[in-house]
Structure formats: C-alpha cells, structure tokens
Amino acid sequence: MRLIHTSDWHLGRTLHSENLLPHQAGFLRWLLDEAVRQQAGAVVVAGDIYDRAVPSLDAVRLLDATLLRFAQARIPVILTSGNHDSAVRLGFGAGLSEAAGIHLRTSVADLARPVLLADEHGPVAVYGVPYLLPDAVMADLGVQSRTHEAVLAEAARLIRADAAARGIGRTVVAAHAFVTGGQPAESERDIRVGGVADVPAAVFAGFSYVALGHLHGAQRAGPPPGPGPGPLTGDSVTKSTVIRYSGSPLAFSFSEKDHRKSVTLAEIDAAGQVRTTALHTPVPRPLREVRGTLDSLLARADQHGADAELAGLAGAWVKVVLTDTVRPAAPMERLREKWPHTLVLDFAPEGQLTSSDADLERLASATDPVEICGMFVEFTSGGPADDTHRAVLRAAVEAAQHAESAA
C-alpha cells in the first residue's frame, strides 16, 4: 500500500503580506498529479488544512475544488483538523463527502472509526485523530489529566482496541501534535495553550505508520530507524512503528529557508513494515537572507552576477538584514529596485550600538529626560542623537514640563 502523507497546508496564509494562495493552488495540482503517478492508495492530510478557523473565501474555494478533483480521480483523501482549523467548519458535510471518498475526521467521536483501504495483502486501517485540545476533549474521552499526552494516549488506546476487534494488523494514524524532541520552526502557532504540550513517541507504539502534522520541517519522530522491536514490545505488537512529520509543502517563514519541502510517500508492505521517501514539492521562489550595509548591498547587486552570494536574488523572496549604524532613507524601496520580492527588512547595526542589556543599564542610570529621549533616538535610528535632534527633544520636553506644571 502506497500512501502520500502531507500536512500543514495552511490555505490562505501569507508570507509577510505576500499572497501564497496561487502557490498553494500550484502545490495542490502537483499533489494530485503525483498521487496518480505514484498510484497512491490514499492521501493523508494531518491537520492545519486552513490557516485560520474562519478561512478566506478564496481558501475555501481552493479546498472545495481540490477535493472535488481528488474525488473525480477516485483517490481517497483523509483529512484531520489541526490547531489552526475550526473542527466544526472543516467537518461540515463530512457524512456526504465520505460517500465520495473524502474522509473528514474532525471529531472525537470518529477518531476510532477507520477508513478501510485494501491491497493484495489485505486491509489497511487509516485513523484520523483531530487536534485534541485537552480542555475541550477531556470529558468526552474520560481523561483526568489535562495534558496532550493523556488525551492522545486514550485516543491511541481506542484505536488499538478497534483495530484488534477488526483483526487488522496494518494501521495508520494521522495526528496533529508536538512529539517530544521535535524541531520547531517560527511559523507554527504555539500548541501549549491548554495543557502540557509534549507527547512522547511511545504513545503511538504498535501502529505501522504515524502521519504527524504540526511541525513545519519534515522529520522523523521517535526512536531511530532500524531492525528490532518498536518502543513498546508488549501484547502481540512487536514491529517497529515509523513516526514522521511530513512538514509543510511551502515555507511559511524565513526560519525555513533551508528546508527542502516535501510530502512523504509511505509504502506499507505485507507485514506492515513501512518505508518512506520524500517527494519534493515545487518551489515557487527560494527564500534567501542577505546581510550588509544598504550601500554595499546595492553596489554588489550592480555587479550583475559577479557576486555569487547575491546571484538569483531578483527571483527570490528576500530578507535583508541591514547593518548600517544610521538608518538609511527609503531602504525597502531602494532594495526592491534590485530585488523586487524583498519581503522583510531587519536592522542590526554594527559598531557603537551596544547590547540591549547595556542599553537598559544606561537607561536606568539616566535622569535627564532629554538624555532618555536621546537614547530612544539612538535605538531607533542606529546613531547617537545629534545637536539638531537634541534641540528638538529639549524643546518638546520643556513644553511638556511647562504644560504639566501649569495644569
């Protein structure tokens, strides 16, 4: 059985005000082509389908059109809700769409109701666990402890019981969680709201494959691959469990500029052993970061390809870190003349500016309000206040003091 595992589509998300929807649409067209080409038995999407609980109209239209195309191609899709999704909105019409092979798993009541697939070796049961906020589901699951570990452990117990009752040994579980030891990126919303977030990988012991969402970098979770038993060797289940994050299909922050984005092809053999392969997703634009003073960067940009570090920046989404000690005028406009997709500007002045700790010490020992305002000018402009600045500041401070004493 060949499954494609993906997650964290975040339809409707922007990258520093850049609309990603056309690129998300491109990814979804690619995904359908790839699913056909790989003869995938199903596509599993492990949460954060939309970027928001109330998604934009264009994001809703894109998902609607995408699911219709998968249904027409007769490729089953199993989708769960993530911490960004509204489970109720995403799950609308789930009963109807199930008849067309689109399986929305957004409720606690459905988490142990598998989507049953089959190949020449027999059945594979795919379970979709929606994002479980402990506060919201503790009562339903009969769990006393307000932790992600407790609610997911109970979900896993229910799933094991269902698979055992059906006599199915090949099991896939999709879940949206932070598994202990994972490497986060800047674009994931903190999942710690409502209880301890970490879930030990051992919670998922015994399943053939665990398709995780939430972390945006593709990575393996749990014990390293290799022969031998999985993390839990009790009961009759001794085969190793493969647990993976597919990661997001697109980069959503500059902290992901070095990620090679992908979906995961998971091949499950007759014995339930799983082999995974990364299928690299299309890259709309690379993300790049450069650093220097504005004038030096602009001069280097003019060397037309002679400067290898800056090659290709005109076609990239660019973050520029300016090291000027005095903040230059209209830096974004000037950079965009060279690199039209510059999205982020950061200032990291080099030289006389000191650390924020030292700034705070100076601030604490300063008593003259003009001096304090001068430090603000220095902080924001990257250079000490000059005589003109100081004259303006002194006039403003004196006017304020005068108004106060007159009141």
The residues binding Mn ion (CB under 5 A) are 8, 48
Q: Least distance (Å) from Mn ion to the CB of residue 191?
A: 9
CB nearer to Mn ion: give 247 or 382.
247
**Measured distance CA(407)–CA(404) in Å, rounded:** 5
Q: Least distance (Å) from Mn ion to the CB of residue 284?
A: 18
**Measured distance CA(66)–CA(227) in Å, rounded:** 39
What are the phi and psi torsion angles at 158 (to 5°)? -60, -40
Q: Which residue has the CB atom at the shortest distance from Mn ion?
A: 48
CB nearer to Mn ion: give 160 or 214.
214
Q: Do residues 214 and 191 lie in contact, with contact meaning Cβ atoms separated by under 8 Å?
A: yes
CB nearer to Mn ion: give 101 or 249.
249
What are the phi and psi torsion angles at 342 (to 5°)? -70, 125
**Measured distance CA(169)–CA(177) in Å, rounded:** 24
Q: Least distance (Å) from Mn ion to the CB of residue 8?
A: 4
**Measured distance CA(144)–CA(305) in Å, rounded:** 62
CB nearer to Mn ion: give 134 or 213.
213
Q: Least distance (Å) from Mn ion to the CB of residue 92?
A: 21
Q: Least distance (Å) from Mn ion to the CB of residue 211?
A: 14
**Measured distance CA(245)–CA(97) in Å, rounded:** 26
CB nearer to Mn ion: give 178 or 207.
178
CB nearer to Mn ion: give 48 or 378.
48
Residues 6+ apart with CB under 8 A from 407: none
Listed residue (289, 401, 266, 384) closest to 345, CA to CA = 289
Q: Least distance (Å) from Mn ion to the CB of residue 99?
A: 29
Residues 6+ apart with CB under 8 A from 123: 116, 117, 166, 168, 170
CB nearer to Mn ion: give 175 or 322.
175
**Measured distance CA(407)–CA(400) in Å, rounded:** 11
Beta bridge partners of 174: 128, 211
Exposure letters 134-151 (e unless 16+ CB within 10 A, then b): beebbeebebeeebbbbb
Q: Least distance (Å) from Mn ion to the CB of residue 188?
A: 5
Q: Least distance (Å) from Mn ion to the CB of residue 82?
A: 6
**Measured distance CA(361)–CA(366) in Å, rounded:** 9
CB nearer to Mn ion: give 190 or 357.
190
